[in-house]
Amino acid sequence: MVDQANAYNSWWQFRADSWSRLEEATARIVSSLRRSRPIEDDMTDAVHAACAALAPVEQFWAFPGHAAFGVVQELAAAGSWERLGRLVARINRALVTESYRVGSLDDLVQAEHRDDSEDMIFGVSHESFSRPYFEVLVVETMSPAQEEQLREEVHTWRRPGDPFIYDLVVVGSGVEAAVAIRLNANIQACVIRRRFSHVAVRDLTRLANFADATLSKELADHSPDERAQILALRLAEIRPEVDLYLMTEIAVEDVAGKVSHHFRRVFHAREGALELHLTILAGVAERYRTPFFEALRTYSQRPTGVFHALPISQGKSIVNSHWIRDMVGFYGRNLSDHRWA
């Protein structure tokens, strides 16, 4: 599986293909069970190989997230093939159709725990798909419970009138943040908090080509604010278009004059995450603006009047006009013909 990964030019495509392989492998096992045929070793090996291939990279995408992928791994280890097949099919269908952009990760996991055979309904609508989707990287060491609480809070902020919809990718170290920025093109904003590790929390052996070996050393032996600045500089070098925000727990006035210009804004934890949420949306909206197209669209929506110039008086109204006499030079004297109508 490692050799397969090296054969790809894009981890994005490798990930998509791995989910498809996992669905195919589980479908083969489920098909054998339903026909009362034995499950061959190569079938289960294919499932475990696909899970192993996905494990290093799934942490860097918001969907399906830690919870859902954790359930996938648990079901594969326990040999719960029927349930695994349904869950993997739902996830892969959501990835292929991109319906995850408007769905709920919690609903996906809960649907599996209901142990039913109904397809997952993500509430897809034309209005939902008309809103561009992106992901926000949060750099802070969190427990699974804290991460889940933050996700739930973000989901409560969503409003039908929001111009965009986003979800979170949470990493616990600066090294992993650099990997996430490189791998996941969906990430359009990054929130750096003061509490993050300078060494990778998870194993990045498979992603050595994306991990910055020098970054961990640069972050060590520095204050939280200094580490945040170092990380912001590195992320800005990798992808300068990503909006960077700093969330601090000390007075903003004490930090504002010291932090890098790469930060779009500095927030105090007591300001509330809703203010950060609105700022993130505003930042992406500013970059998303298309002034020329918007002007054209606005112009096309203006009321127009349609009229016809009748060829009366042998076209003198056109020939003698100070404004459109060039029309005669273009079309010729046939404009004055009474048959022109």
Please check whether residue 85 is in contact with residue 30, taking contact to mean a CB–CB distance below 8 angstroms.
yes
The CATH T-level fold of domain 131-306 is Rossmann fold (3.40.50)
- Reported as a single tens digit per residue, the pLDDT across 246-257 is 987 665 555 555
pLDDT of residue 262: 79
* Per-chain mean pLDDT for the chain: 80
Give me the mean pLDDT over the 206-213 stretch.
80
pLDDT value at residue 335: 59
Q: Which pLDDT value is given to residue 44?
A: 94
Task: Provide the pLDDT confidence category of residue 131 given band limits of 50, 70 and 90.
Answer: confident
- SS3 of 246, please? strand
pLDDT of residue 128: 47
| pLDDT value, residue 306 | 57
Give 38-87 pLDDT, tens digit per residue: 898 899 999 999 999 999 889 899 999 888 899 999 999 999 999 999 99
Residues 198-204: what's their mean pLDDT? 84
Domain(s) of CATH 3.40.50.2300: residues in the chain? 131-306
Dist CA 107 CA 244 (whole Å): 30
- pLDDT top residue among 87 and 306: 87
Which of 76-90, 97-111, 149-163, 266-280 is modeled with the greatest confidence? Answer: 76-90
Question: Model confidence over 136-182: pLDDT tens digits?
Answer: 999 999 988 888 888 888 888 888 888 898 999 999 999 999 999 99
Contact (Cβ atoms closer than 8 angstroms) between residue 152 and residue 121: no
- What's the pLDDT band for 339 if we cut at 50, 70, 90? very low
Q: Is the dihedral of CA 329, 333, 334, 339 positive or negative?
A: positive
What's the average model confidence in pLDDT over 230-253?
86
d(CA 100, CA 111): 14
pLDDT given at position 265: 86
Backbone φ and ψ for 266, nearest 5 degrees, come out as -110, 130
pLDDT of amino acid 120: 39
According to the model, what pLDDT value does residue 192 have? Answer: 93
Task: Look at residues 231, 258, 241, 221 and name the one whose alpha carbon lies nearest to residue 173.
Answer: 231
Q: Do 83 and 112 touch, CB atoms closer than 8 A?
A: yes
Q: Residue 285: which H helix or E strand, with range?
A: helix 273-288
- The sheet carrying 243-248 orders its strands as 165-171, 133-139, 187-193, 243-248, 263-268
The Cα–Cα gap between 64 and 94 comes to 9
102: pLDDT strictly greater than 80: no
pLDDT the model gives residue 136: 96
Q: 174 near 204, Cβ under 8 Å?
A: no
Q: Are 67 and 109 in contact (CB under 8 A)?
A: yes
Average pLDDT of span 320-329? 68
Is 59 or 328 the better-scoring residue by pLDDT?
59
DSSP state of 76: H
Within a 10 A sphere around the Cβ of 115, how many other Cβ atoms? Answer: 10
The stretch 312-321 carries a mean pLDDT of 67
Provide the whole-model pTM.
Answer: 0.76
How many angstroms separate the Cα of 167 from the Cα of each of 56, 105, 187, 311? Answer: 20, 10, 9, 63
**pLDDT given for residue 21 in this prediction:** 95
